Amino acid sequence: MSQGVGAREMVCIACPIGCRLSVERAEGDAVSVVGNRCPKGEVYGREELLSPRRLVTAVVRTDSEDFPCAPVRTSRPLERELLAELLRELYGRTASLPIRAGDVCLEDFKATGVRVVFTRTLPPDEVPPIRQARPEAEG
């Protein structure tokens, strides 16, 4: 497929195959996807060209010295144009412990329906003991 106006080459990440796609916008909203070996590739190529979205994983600061950050993720993919704004919002927050995996950090980011949830329980039910450095073996 020749590269025309709006055409892009990309690697599909919808499944483990990793097909090399050529995606081109045709007349109107029509999109041509070539190179996919499964139907997921066609959907991925079309969405990536028209409205790219990403799942976001990040950390949020906590009020704990023992656990200074808590991991979070979005509940579904977010429009790529909003990623920087979401990260600024998350990095400006401070969460109070305890936190349970699945607790909501941010309910509805910019009325997109995207929630941000914590992915780890802090403090954990069992805190592993601090490992002492072992003296190096002599001789």
**CATH 3.40.50.2000 is right for the domain spanning 57-118:** no
Query: How many Å apart are CA 68 and CA 94, to the nearest integer?
Result: 10
Query: How many Å apart are CA 20 and CA 5, to the nearest integer?
Result: 19
- The reported pTM is 0.73
Domain range summary for the chain, segments of one domain joined by +: 8-50, 57-118
More confident residue, 29 or 67: 67
What are the pLDDT digits (tens) for 82-139? 999 999 999 999 999 999 999 999 999 999 999 999 999 999 866 666 666 666 665 5
pLDDT at residue 25, rounded to an integer? 87
What are the pLDDT digits (tens) for 9-50? 999 999 999 999 999 988 777 899 999 999 999 999 999 998
Q: How many helices (H) and strands (E) does the chain have?
A: 2, 10
Cα–Cα–Cα angle for 31, 37, 43, rounded to 5 degrees = 35
Query: How many Å apart are CA 49 and CA 76, to the nearest integer?
Result: 18
